[in-house]
Amino acid sequence: MNINKIRKFISENKGNTFSFKFKGARNQIEEFVGKILESYNSIFTIKVLGKISRIKSYSYNDILINNLEMKEIVLKK
């Protein structure tokens, strides 16, 4: 994948729910469920779903270098 494909994927999936896994510094791993809110030139924002809702921002490079993994959650009706 390249940056342009990642940007296109993120912008096409605004509002969809994903499971995220972020690999931070010093082997810290954060897992959460959220929705993609907006996509900008260098970053995109995610609204974390749960008891405490907050907004996080990530760069497209985080996906490119595998620091941020995304898996789509399909809700059954």
CATH number of 53's domain: 2.30.30.100
Q: What is the pLDDT of residue 53?
A: 86
CA distance 67 to 77: 32
Which range marks the domain in which residue 26 is found?
3-72
Question: Within 10 A of 68 (CB to CB), how many other CB atoms are there?
Answer: 21
Residues of the chain below pLDDT 70: 75-77
**Looking at residue 45, what is its pLDDT?**
98
Would you state the pLDDT for residue 46? 97
Which neighbouring-strand residues pair with 55? 47
Please name which of 57, 65, 67, 60 lies closest in space to residue 21, comparing C-alpha atoms.
67
SS3 content of the chain, % helix, strand, coil (to 5): 25, 45, 30
Identity of the amino acid at 54: R
> Is 10 contained in some domain?
yes
Domain membership flag for residue 65: yes
Tokens 């499971």, residue? 19
* Structural domains in the chain (count): 1
- Residue 77 within a domain: no
